[in-house]
Chains A and B, each alone.
Chain A
Amino acid sequence: MSKVILEVNELTTNYVTRFREKIYAVDHVSLKVEEGKSVGIAGESGCGKSTLALSLMGYYFAPLHYSSGEIIVDGRNISGMDPDDVRKTILGREISYIPQAAMNALNPTQRVINFIEDVIQAHYPKTTKKEIYELARERFELLGLPAEVLRKYPVELSGGMKQRTVIATSVILSPKVLIADEPSSALDVTSQKMVIKMIMDLMNKGIIKALIFITHELPLLYNVTDDIMVMYAGQIVERGTAEQMVFDPIHPYTRALMGSIIVPEAGLRDVKLAAIPGTPPNLKNPPSGCRFADRCKFVKPECRAISVGLRDAGEGRAYRCIIPEEDLRKAYQSEG
């Protein structure tokens, strides 16, 4: 087993709304990312993927608050650390993030290189502008971006170019872990491919050591990540290798999510397209039993009564359902 770069144990975080209600958007989530590995996180809109990303970076700015659990980055426990210290010592340097709206992530009135200067000097104040320019140019060229981009304002770049500029900027300090939050969702198919290839390059070229890739399109992860976790209403409902999750899902939600893909990936074209009927529960007061019960085809009366933890299915797989694995598989078979 190789070295664990990021370990999260039973992490719970919450938003506090204007009306002082607490929303537990990340609920007892555990995950481990080893060196050289990539983990995908999939789930419908609003299930807490972005919140999980912020939470595991230690990015706690109102209204998001840390509640309980542990975050260990490269052997260092950062849970409960002061957000300002996190900013100084972790963000951008140990863990970096490509935000969901990467298109608007750059300050419109600042040249790309000036922003990169600010990023680097925030962590290494003594670096000179010349050194920064050299470093940025080298890094951009390594990632297939022309060096002229550095002198441009974001408004002068196309959408796909902006996205790639943000990616290159996010990894300018060679962080150990990169979290990419739906980095391709707003793009056309060609740019999507380019962006995904670029992110995989970051791993292959050793710029980052581990990757967390967030998307609502589960099948997209098949070619991108080693492992996949599926989230539903703030909780993990299933985890396994990409192969297992895509071709042999156990949890009814994972299965449904596989059927609701938007852009079929090569080799997955025969998967039928269907949105999952119903809507996820309101996280302000989630149901007491299984959170997916209302939308589950295989629901039983006890589902709503008993809340079930993640059940081990061997080989690092786990799923959150009171129906045993064999019974679920049988049900899927009879369904065809």
Chain B
Amino acid sequence: MKGYRDYFLRKLGWFAITVVVAFILNFTLPRLMPGDPVAAIVARMAQGMSNATGVQAVYEQYTELFATDRPIPEQFFIYIRNVLNGDFGYSISQYPRTVGEVINASVWWTIALQFPAIIVGWILGNTLGAMAAYLRKGFDRVLLPVSLFLSNIPPFGMAVILLVIFAVNLKWLPTSGGYRFDMVPNSSWEFVWSVIVHYQLPFWSIVLITIGGQAIGMRSMAIYELNADYVKYARFLGIKDSKIIRYVFRNAMLPQITGLALSIGTMVFGAVVAEIIFNYPGIGSTMLTAVLGGDYPLISAATLIITFMVLIAFFALEIIYGLIDPRIKAAQSE
């Protein structure tokens, strides 16, 4: 167990380092963007104002509010303190809403969309890949090219294809939004139904992309495992295939868990893209508006939240993986 504790602590250490680095990058990168966002807001606020000193006063007021006149290191420490207090400041593009409010209104849409989609895609992909490895022949001949195709179209490509087929041509499903634009969120059946209908295209576009990559990975892992010496040995001792297949899939599945961790980053990216294409009210769309509006408190916060979600998922998977795969445990205790 000592080995596993060391493993856990080392992973935790890396997790902490990554969080810090991500935090710094999240803060600095948006501030390196060209353009003066405060000037942009002021320009919007000051429309119709003819008094130059009035405009100047508004500008100064906002500069102070967003602390953009302070040196960057100082801004950084203020930022850390505020983030630790759960205060991300004001959104520039959606002023006077706070970043916290903006994110809170969108992040749950993202979580409700991405988590189920990635998990469903992972399970379906792995099942199909395992079946292809075991059945070979016709099933494999169809699945492999399809998966290769799926995993190679860029995320926006998948979203656009589904959009064109099911929303534009067949008109079965809505083209954009998280619910009908003329509705106000409430708990009526009508609203829930609208949410479900709007959920389908972004959901399946993420699922399909995930399936492709996972199926290919699982297929080759399972083919490799099916040829392993322990499979033959189990047969030599008279064990039934139905039992042996359980060994094989378990062993092939375990590295796929790391695969899941590794691809969560890409998947989240894909999912963000899907949100943008379908104009889904999640954090991806929020981020797009933030980028277009030069809204760096919001960009920082949104990226930070996404990065956090990815890192936590990653960390959790590695910890679980280390627990259930004795190969990792043994490698640690050597």
Residue B327 contacts which of A96, A109, A169, A170 (CB distance < 8 angstroms)?
A109
Segment among A84-92, A208-216, A277-285, A303-311 that sits at the interface with chain B: A84-92
Residue A93 contacts which of B238, B240, B329 (CB distance < 8 angstroms)?
B238
A94 nearest in chain B by CB position: B238
- The residues of A that contact B235 with a CB separation of less than 8 Å are 59, 61, 87, 91
Q: Decide yes or no whether B233 CB sits under 8 A from chain A.
A: yes
- The residues of A that contact B182 with a CB separation of less than 8 Å are none
B326 nearest in chain A by CB position: A153
Q: Which of B251, B325, B330, B331 has the most CB of A within 10 A?
A: B330
A153 to B325, CA, bound (A): 10
Interface of B is mostly: helix
- The residues of A that contact B254 with a CB separation of less than 8 Å are 109
Q: Decide yes or no whether A166 CB sits under 8 A from chain B.
A: yes
B236 nearest in chain A by CB position: A97
**Contact between chains at B240 and A122 (CB < 8 Å):** yes
Interface of A is mostly: mixed
- The residues of B that contact A61 with a CB separation of less than 8 Å are 235
Segment among B56-64, B142-150, B224-232, B282-290 that sits at the interface with chain A: B224-232
A-side interface residues, number (CB < 8 Å): 31
Q: Decide yes or no whether B234 CB sits under 8 A from chain A.
A: yes
Instruction: Mark out the residues of chain B between 299 and 334 whose CB falls within 8 Å of any chain A CB in the assembled complex.
Output: 325-327, 329-331, 333
Instruction: Mark out the residues of chain A between 115 and 129 whose CB falls within 8 Å of any chain B CB in the assembled complex.
Output: 115, 118-119, 122-123
**Contact between chains at B236 and A107 (CB < 8 Å):** no
User: Nearest Cβ distance between residue A232 and chain B, in whole angstroms?
Assistant: 25
**Contact between chains at B243 and A118 (CB < 8 Å):** yes
**Contact between chains at B233 and A106 (CB < 8 Å):** yes
Residue B230 contacts which of A59, A90, A105, A155 (CB distance < 8 angstroms)?
A105
A97 to B235, CA, bound (A): 10
**Contact between chains at B327 and A92 (CB < 8 Å):** no
**Contact between chains at B236 and A96 (CB < 8 Å):** yes
Q: Decide yes or no whether B164 CB sits under 8 A from chain A.
A: no
Contacts A97-B236, A99-B232, A104-B228 known; A156 to B330 CB distance under 8 Å?
A: yes
Residue B229 contacts which of A104, A122, A170 (CB distance < 8 angstroms)?
A104
B254 nearest in chain A by CB position: A109
**Contact between chains at B326 and A108 (CB < 8 Å):** yes
Q: Decide yes or no whether B250 CB sits under 8 A from chain A.
A: yes
**Contact between chains at B238 and A88 (CB < 8 Å):** yes
**Contact between chains at A122 and B233 (CB < 8 Å):** no
Q: Decide yes or no whether A57 CB sits under 8 A from chain B.
A: yes
User: Nearest Cβ distance between residue A64 and chain B, in whole angstroms?
Assistant: 11
**Contact between chains at B238 and A105 (CB < 8 Å):** no
Residue B237 contacts which of A96, A153, A156 (CB distance < 8 angstroms)?
A96
Q: Decide yes or no whether A101 CB sits under 8 A from chain B.
A: yes
- The residues of B that contact A57 with a CB separation of less than 8 Å are 236
Residue B239 contacts which of A104, A122, A166 (CB distance < 8 angstroms)?
A122
- The residues of A that contact B240 with a CB separation of less than 8 Å are 87, 122
User: Nearest Cβ distance between residue B238 and chain A, in whole angstroms?
Assistant: 4
Contacts A92-B237, A97-B236, A122-B238 known; A107 to B330 CB distance under 8 Å?
A: no
* Additional pairs, 18, CB under 8 Å, beyond known A107-B230, A107-B247, A122-B238: A57-B236, A91-B235, A91-B237, A92-B237, A96-B236, A108-B326, A109-B250, A109-B251, A109-B254, A109-B327, A118-B234, A118-B239, A122-B239, A153-B327, A153-B329, A153-B330, A156-B333, A170-B237
B residues near A, CB below 8 A?
228-230, 232-240, 243, 247, 250-251, 254, 325-327, 329-331, 333
Q: 15 A-B Cβ contacts within 8 A?
A: A59-B236, A87-B235, A88-B238, A92-B236, A92-B237, A92-B238, A104-B228, A106-B230, A107-B247, A108-B326, A108-B327, A109-B251, A119-B237, A119-B238, A123-B238
